[in-house]
């Protein structure tokens, strides 16, 4: 990195930088953007659990659903942990329940052959007002990318990932003067497919997002 900047870890959804309280971009997105696909998934899984276990009451079905959500989070953390050590992995030693996702990750890696520059970087942007963590910065065929890895059963790419990427790009520039040319997402499915897509959200898009977040926060005070 062009300069060394000590970034405090996120605490309760916020970064504290230079006497500023900056929300994490994941917190901002979570409070502003509706996620109909997630809502549909929760409804569908709740109904399935209730039908499968008619002996359970309402609270017990909700408890099972919470466990499923926790498993989804564990999967995401595991896939990211493997991405952090790529390409130095023995795929046969990865957890069997996540083998499809890791197979997809390795497939993408073998095709694109990224040259690793930085991984898991905490950064911030005081001009717009947020902090974030950038998963992966690499060189692909001579151009710099910041990449986000996403895992879901069907390898779906949700619209908010573009906002995460532009947030990362602008934060890297302010915090470390790292210039990123391209932003991308690698979506991994449980059956081993990988989808690599460039995202093109803009600084203006991000300003509108943060503005809406600040409006919601003011209305809640």
Does residue 2 fall inside a structural domain? Answer: no
Which residues contact residue 37 at a Cβ distance below 8 angstroms, ignoring those fewer than 6 apart? 156, 158
pLDDT digits (tens, 9 = 90+) for 117-138: 999 899 999 999 999 999 899 9
> Which residue is associated with the tokens 């952090």?
84
Task: Report how many domains make up the chain.
Answer: 1
* Long-range residue pairs from 196-199, CB within 8 A, at least 24 positions apart, any chain: 196/108, 196/111, 196/112, 197/157, 199/161, 199/162, 199/165, 199/166
| pLDDT number for residue 33 | 79
pLDDT digits (tens, 9 = 90+) for 1-59: 545 556 667 788 899 987 889 999 999 998 887 665 656 667 777 888 888 888 888 88
Does residue 6 fall inside a structural domain? Answer: no
What is the distance between the alpha carbons of residues 48 and 119, in angstroms, rounded to a whole number?
39
Domain that holds residue 43: 14-220
| pLDDT number for residue 8 | 65
Does residue 1 fall inside a structural domain? Answer: no
| pLDDT number for residue 64 | 79
154 vs 220: which has the higher pLDDT: 154
Does residue 59 fall inside a structural domain? Answer: yes
Tokens found for residue 9: 């870890």
**Mean pLDDT rounded to a whole number for the chain:** 87
Does residue 93 fall inside a structural domain? Answer: yes
Taking the CB of residue 98, how many other CB atoms lie within 10 A of it? Answer: 18
**CATH number for 19:** 3.90.320
């Amino acid at each position: 990195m062009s300069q060394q900047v000590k970034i405090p870890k996120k605490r309760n959804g916020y970064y504290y930088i230079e006497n500023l309280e900056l929300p994490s971009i994941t917190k901002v997105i979570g409070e502003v953007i509706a996620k109909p696909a997630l809502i549909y998934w929760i409804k569908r899984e709740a109904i399935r659990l209730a039908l499968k276990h008619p002996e359970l009451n309402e609270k017990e079905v909700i408890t099972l659903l919470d466990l499923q959500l926790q498993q989804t989070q564990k999967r995401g953390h595991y896939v990211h942990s493997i991405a952090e050590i790529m390409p130095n992995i023995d795929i046969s030693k990865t957890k069997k329940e996540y083998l499809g996702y890791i197979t997809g990750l390795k497939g993408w890696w073998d095709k694109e052959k990224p040259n690793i520059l930085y991984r898991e970087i905490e950064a911030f942007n005081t001009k717009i007002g947020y902090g974030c963590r950038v998963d992966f910065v690499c060189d692909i065929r001579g151009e710099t990318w910041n990449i986000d890895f996403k895992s879901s059963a069907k390898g779906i790419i949700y619209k908010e990932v573009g906002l995460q990427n532009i947030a990362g790009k602008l934060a890297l520039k302010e915090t470390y003067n790292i210039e990123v040319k391209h932003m991308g997402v690698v979506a991994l499915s449980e059956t081993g497919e990988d989808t690599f897509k460039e995202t093109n959200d803009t600084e203006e898009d991000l300003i509108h997002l943060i503005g809406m977040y600040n409006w919601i926060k003011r209305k809640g005070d």
